[in-house]
Structure 1
């Protein structure tokens, strides 16, 4: 929500919870459809963040498989989107809102979004 609010305050409008093309039961957190850019905000635990590793003690094997499946599913989703010409962005929950906004703006700028070009160049 914080990322969405920050982007909205800068004048960016996006789709929320957009079904991903060609993928059953997979959705993006934020999508900039015109610029074919999707954002996934991922929790450190659920997506096995390499900076914040956490291995549950109870039922450890089940959790390793579950979290490994999440990582594989994201990689598969990202590869599928790239093949379709989309840019998938992964934002980890430990990243600050400013860092996350910067990543989104840079990705949109590479796709030619006019507002990002003005913001990143300091014109406003």
Structure 2
């Protein structure tokens, strides 16, 4: 096997992504990844894996907008076709839904992006096991 294959095998992508979605350390899956709502810890409190290398930047926000817009676009269509609510009622429901869904998805998608970066050894996560 080549070095690229052996390096990638010790950090599988799917478990790292799932741990990130669960807001846990991509390495051990036990330690909390976040100190607050979106602040990634410098290192895992359980396994001491360094997490300060991440560069999630705007990726999680773009993914959140993409998902929320598609979900609420579908909901808007279903509401208008089948229920025909008053436009102000519909706008209020959709606005509350957009905010709630965005607040729920944003930290999970950021955790997923950090998990992908960790599994692919991107942005300083290095080649050490």
Q: Bin the TM-score by the shorter chain.
A: 0.3 to 0.5
Q: Which has the higher contact order (CA 8 A, sep 6+)?
A: 2
Relative to the length of structure 2, the TM-score reads 0.33
Instruction: Say which structure is richer in helix.
Output: 2
Find the structure with the greater CA-based Rg. Answer: 2
Determine which structure has the larger strand proportion and give its number: 1
